[in-house]
């Protein structure tokens, strides 16, 4: 059966029909942002085995990490299956999901929820002791994941050696006998497979090129540090520039080459306007005391995307920390005061040059205590 999503009157009914079909052990074809995929419920061992057989069986899948992947809602659920996910794995999951990237991890942790699945399903889900995870961005599949008990097993809706389908009609032509229900949402947005990335501790490798290029993956894998104050005109831009200086010294590279070492440094303000200039006193202190040029800085507000993608959010005061966590409590483990002694870095705005100088010295001293950790 094929259901055209664009002509249906009740999208919720389509979601419930898909959930019911999966719960009954049937294979269901879904649109995603990449290509059309086939899903099976991990609560149905026979359905998972049929999906495995469709892709050439366990021997073929062991040689193709990520060809079958658990469909999860996001990083929170992923951590149930990879309890000791590395900082790099969390970084890529946070930045790439929901989206067109499958992450492959070792699946041997004894506390992984994969141990609660049927042994028959475990054999299919983690061939070669490697587990692929993906959080697709298509809203229909996300809604199904919310309602279904347990995750789904996903793979592209094609046989080995065939092109991945970009339309439901292609799925119908090749797999109509195997798939009980196909949901048609027109051509897929990207029309090419998801990138498959293998994570091992602090290293990653592209197993299969896809939508996200290696260049973009390199940037997504970088550590992102965000320094936060109120207006982003003195404290946080001074911290950004001083951090660049200290890390460049550690790496022995120019300030503008830090990204080659996998570190991106930004600053923003909780109440900042876009495009404001730094205070003249901050410019003068950076130039005269540290030989750094702050004159080209322009202010920017702290955004939800920055908060979601940052590995470290360094705030100047307790009130900045409270403001962020009141709206984004999930960022608690990444948001910290810049000063390890829990002292606020007070705002020097409106004060004399000497106040700015003391502020910059406090910031630099605090940064020196973080540098070793930021490069490991």
Q: Which of 48, 188, 229, 359 is catalytic?
A: 229
Cβ-proximal residues to 265 (8 Å cutoff; 6+ apart), any chain: 224, 225, 227, 240, 243, 244, 247, 258
Which tokens in the block code for residue 347? 């705002």
Phi, psi of 348 (to 5 degrees): -90, 0
DSSP string, 187-206: S-SS-SPPEEEEEETTEEEE
Q: Tell me: cis bond preceding 98? Omega within 30 of 0 counts.
A: yes
Phi, psi of 101 (to 5 degrees): -135, 130
Phi, psi of 35 (to 5 degrees): -140, 175
Q: CA separation (Å) from 371 to 202, 249, 310, 321, 362?
A: 18, 10, 16, 21, 15
347 is catalytic: yes
229 is catalytic: yes
Q: Which of 134, 235, 244, 334 is catalytic?
A: 235
Cβ-proximal residues to 323 (8 Å cutoff; 6+ apart), any chain: 270
Torsion of CA 324, 376, 373, 88, to 10 degrees: 20
Catalytic residues, by residue number, are: 229, 235, 347
């Amino acid at each position: 059966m094929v259901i055209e999503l664009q002509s249906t009157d009740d999208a919720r009914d389509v979601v419930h029909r898909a959930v019911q079909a999966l719960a009954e052990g049937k294979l269901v074809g879904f649109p995603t942002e990449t290509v059309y995929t086939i899903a099976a419920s991990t609560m149905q061992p026979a359905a998972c085995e049929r999906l495995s057989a469709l892709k050439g069986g366990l021997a073929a899948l062991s040689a193709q990490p990520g060809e079958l992947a658990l469909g999860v809602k996001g990083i929170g659920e992923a951590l149930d299956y990879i309890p000791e996910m590395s900082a790099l794995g969390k970084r890529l999951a946070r930045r790439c999901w929901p989206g067109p990237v499958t992450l492959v991890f070792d699946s041997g942790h004894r506390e992984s929820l994969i141990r609660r699945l049927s042994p028959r399903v475990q054999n299919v889900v983690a061939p070669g002791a490697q587990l692929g995870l993906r959080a697709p961005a298509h809203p229909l599949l996300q809604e199904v994941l919310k309602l279904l008990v347990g995750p789904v097993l996903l793979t592209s809706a094609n046989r080995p050696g065939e092109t991945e389908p970009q339309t439901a009609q292609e799925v119908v032509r090749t797999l109509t006998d195997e798939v009980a229900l196909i949901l048609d949402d027109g051509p897929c947005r990207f029309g090419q497979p998801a990138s498959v990335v293998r994570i091992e501790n602090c290293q990653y490798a592209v197993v299969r090129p896809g939508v996200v290029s290696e260049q973009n993956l390199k940037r997504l894998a970088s550590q992102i540090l965000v320094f936060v104050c109120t207006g982003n005109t003195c404290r946080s831009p001074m911290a950004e520039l001083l951090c660049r200086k200290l890390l460049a010294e550690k790496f022995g590279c120019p300030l503008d080459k830090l990204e080659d070492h996998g570190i991106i440094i930004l600053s923003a303000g909780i109440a900042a306007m876009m495009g404001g200039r730094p205070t003249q006193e901050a410019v003068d202190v950076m130039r005269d005391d540290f030989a750094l040029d702050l004159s080209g800085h322009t202010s920017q507000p702290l955004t939800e995307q920055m908060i979601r993608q940052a590995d470290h959010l360094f705030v100047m005061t307790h009130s900045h920390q409270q403001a962020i966590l009141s709206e984004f409590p999930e960022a608690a483990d990444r948001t910290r005061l810049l000063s390890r002694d829990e002292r606020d870095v007070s705002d020097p705005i409106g004060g004399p040059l000497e106040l700015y100088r003391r502020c910059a010295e406090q910031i630099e001293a605090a940064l020196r205590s973080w540098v070793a950790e930021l490069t490991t």
